[in-house]
């Protein structure tokens, strides 16, 4: 499995590097005997030991990289070994030829391009949006109106690097991707009542299947902060059917693998599909970890949470150790930039909090967030 996100070739080296590394490290906890090209930041020894202790099928063939040259070597090594590479983000065909890929770089880029939703989702379920050039941005995205700005690029940035949310009358600070791209999607700012992330899988038979319905938590700016699993509100049948149909349209184009579709019910009574993520997402690994290590609690309340600290990952693991021992907490992913060439020191830990009572689960999740935010 090749799970490393790429920014556009024109992006400066190291920009958002920690985010790219973290995303590439996530599949380790559930990889089993599948070879994984991953950031060395996710192979920290204490982290791997924690995975194994919890019963997760930790990857036994982890081909890690610490820098760009390492990554290119690992991909070429996999191609030379005759392995089929499943790209989570598009890679150059000079590095990973289409004949060595489960799905082509062109297809992966196209499906994850923020403009492609108009060709994959029925218009009845689309938010209002328009594609504009950089010159048109000041008129299409004024300060006195709320809107969402998304990148139009087949490079499929990922990691929330290609979305910017603006609330009316707040100061506009355009994101970095507006400096390197020529086209953008300007989308209406949705007043969301319930926000779902629907997890699908497309097997070798080309059939899209629903794996799970999750609810998504977002911060005050609208950025994803975690998901709810198990005991969640079900989306309307017609919205669920459209998401399945969308995943199947991608499958019919040749897509194989996992994907997550973001959809919502809005305060004005609409049902909207607003983001397509044809790759492993922040909701995928917690779900797969639960299915692998604790299938007995799949119907119980659970919430994922990400903890961040400016220090060693081993210290972060030590802080959550007593809570893990007490039960109701599963470590599912982690990353330490000290094991890469990233000059910014940062450790990230992704966990799932679970239990019988949804309010108690939420309280423990918030306590974990508060504890690490005070470091």
- Whether 260 and 339 map to the same domain: the answer is no
Q: What is the pLDDT of residue 218?
A: 78
The CATH number of residue 273's host domain is 3.30.470.20
Calpha distance 367→307 (Å, rounded): 11
- Whether 261 and 289 map to the same domain: the answer is no
Question: How many degrees, rounded to 5, is the angle at CA 228 between CA 232 and CA 239?
Answer: 55
- Whether 246 and 323 map to the same domain: the answer is no
Q: What is the pLDDT of residue 107?
A: 95
List pLDDT tens digits, range 189-244: 999 999 999 999 999 999 999 999 999 987 766 677 889 999 899 999 999 999 99
| Domain hosting residue 207, numbered range | 191-277
- Whether 207 and 254 map to the same domain: the answer is yes
> 299 in a domain, yes or no?
yes
> 54 in a domain, yes or no?
yes
- Whether 74 and 140 map to the same domain: the answer is no
User: Which bin fits 49, alpha (ψ -120 to 50), beta or left (φ > 0)?
Assistant: alpha
> 263 in a domain, yes or no?
yes
- Whether 159 and 201 map to the same domain: the answer is no
Burial (CB count within 10 angstroms: exposed 0-12, middle 13-18, buried 19+), residue 370 = exposed
- Whether 212 and 271 map to the same domain: the answer is yes
Calpha distance 255→264 (Å, rounded): 24
Q: What is the pLDDT of residue 217?
A: 87
Of the three residues 250, 277, 304, the one that is the final residue of a domain is: 277
The CATH number of residue 129's host domain is 3.30.1490
Reading the block at residue 47, the tokens are 């982290």
Of the three residues 164, 188, 212, the one that is the final residue of a domain is: 188
Could you tell me the sign of the dihedral formed by the alpha carbons of 88, 92, 95, 101, in that order? positive
- Whether 160 and 237 map to the same domain: the answer is no
- Whether 320 and 364 map to the same domain: the answer is yes
pLDDT tens for the 375 residues of the chain, in order:
443 333 222 233 334 445 566 777 888 999 999 999 999 999 999 999 999 999 999 999 999 999 888 999 999 999 999 999 998 888 899 999 999 999 999 999 999 999 999 999 999 999 999 999 999 999 999 999 999 999 898 876 555 567 888 999 999 998 888 888 899 999 999 999 999 999 999 999 999 999 999 999 877 666 778 899 998 999 999 999 999 999 999 999 999 999 999 999 999 999 999 999 999 888 899 999 999 999 999 999 999 999 999 999 999 999 999 999 999 999 999 999 999 988 889 999 999 999 999 999 999 999 998 876 545
Q: Write out the E strands in the chain.
A: 36-39, 62-65, 129-133, 147-151, 163-166, 183-188, 192-202, 208-218, 224-229, 257-266, 271-277, 302-309, 329-336, 347-354
- Whether 55 and 83 map to the same domain: the answer is yes
Instruction: Report whether 272 contacts 264 (CB < 8 A).
Output: yes
> 11 in a domain, yes or no?
no
> 336 in a domain, yes or no?
yes
CA-wise closest residue to 268 among 143, 130, 148, 128: 128
> 8 in a domain, yes or no?
no
| Cα end-to-end distance, the chain, whole Å | 35
Instruction: Report whether 40 contacts 124 (CB < 8 A).
Output: no
Q: Compute CA distances 274 → 73, 117, 174, 196, 236, whole Å.
A: 37, 8, 21, 10, 15
Calpha distance 247→369 (Å, rounded): 34
Helix boundaries (H) for the chain = 17-25, 45-53, 68-80, 105-112, 117-120, 137-140, 177-180, 237-252, 284-293, 313-326, 358-373
Q: To which residue do tokens 């030829």 refer?
A: 97
Calpha distance 91→112 (Å, rounded): 13
- Whether 68 and 133 map to the same domain: the answer is no
> 6 in a domain, yes or no?
no
Reading the block at residue 155, the tokens are 């490079």
CA-wise closest residue to 228 among 164, 303, 153: 303
- Number of independent structural domains in the chain: 3
Q: What is the pLDDT of residue 12?
A: 34
List pLDDT tens digits, range 303-351: 999 999 999 999 999 999 999 999 999 999 999 999 998 888 999 999 9
The partner residues of 201 in beta bridges, in order of sequence, read: 209, 258
Please give the backbone phi and psi of residue 308, each rounded to the nearest 5 degrees, phi first.
Answer: -130, 140
Of the three residues 244, 277, 310, the one that is the final residue of a domain is: 277
- Whether 172 and 207 map to the same domain: the answer is no
Calpha distance 307→25 (Å, rounded): 15
Helix boundaries (H) for 1-60 = 17-25, 45-53
> 136 in a domain, yes or no?
yes
Q: What is the pLDDT of residue 49?
A: 96
């Amino acid at each position: 499995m090749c799970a490393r996100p790429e920014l556009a070739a024109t992006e400066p080296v190291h920009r958002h590097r920690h985010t790219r590394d973290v995303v590439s490290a996530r599949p380790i906890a559930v990889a089993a005997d599948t070879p994984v090209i991953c950031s060395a930041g996710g192979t920290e020894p204490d982290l791997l030991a924690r995975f194994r202790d919890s019963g997760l099928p930790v990857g036994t063939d982890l081909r890690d990289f610490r820098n760009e040259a390492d990554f290119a070597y690992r991909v070429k090594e996999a191609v030379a070994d005759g392995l089929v590479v499943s790209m989570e983000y598009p890679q150059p065909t000079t590095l990973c030829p289409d004949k060595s890929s489960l799905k082509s770089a062109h297809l992966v880029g196209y499906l994850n391009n923020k403009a492609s939703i108009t060709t994959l989702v029925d218009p009845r379920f689309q938010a209002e949006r328009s594609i504009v050039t950089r010159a048109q941005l000041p008129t299409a995205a004024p300060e006195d109106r709320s809107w969402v700005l998304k990148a139009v690029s087949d490079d499929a940035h990922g990691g929330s690097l290609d979305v910017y949310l603006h609330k009316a009358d707040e100061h506009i600070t355009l994101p970095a991707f507006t400096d390197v791209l020529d086209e953008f999607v300007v989308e209406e700012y949705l007043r969301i009542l319930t926000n779902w992330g629907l997890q699908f899988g497309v097997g070798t038979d080309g059939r899209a299947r629903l794996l799970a319905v999750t609810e998504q938590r977002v911060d005050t700016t609208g950025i994803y902060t975690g998901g709810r699993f198990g005991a969640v509100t079900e989306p309307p049948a017609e919205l669920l059917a459209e998401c399945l149909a969308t995943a199947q349209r991608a499958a019919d184009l040749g897509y194989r693998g996992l994907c997550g579709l973001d959809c919502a019910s809005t305060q004005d009574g609409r049902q909207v599909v607003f983001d397509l993520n044809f790759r492993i997402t922040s909701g995928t690994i917690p779900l797969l970890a639960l299915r692998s290590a604790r299938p007995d609690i799949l119907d119980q309340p659970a919430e994922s949470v990400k903890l961040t600290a400016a220090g060693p990952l081993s210290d972060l693991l030590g802080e959550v150790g007593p809570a893990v021992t007490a039960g109701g907490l599963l470590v599912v992913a982690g990353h330490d930039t000290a094991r890469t060439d990233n000059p910014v020191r940062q450790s990230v830990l992704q966990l799932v909090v679970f239990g019988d009572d949804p309010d108690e689960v939420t309280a423990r999740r918030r306590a974990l967030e508060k504890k690490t935010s005070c470091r």
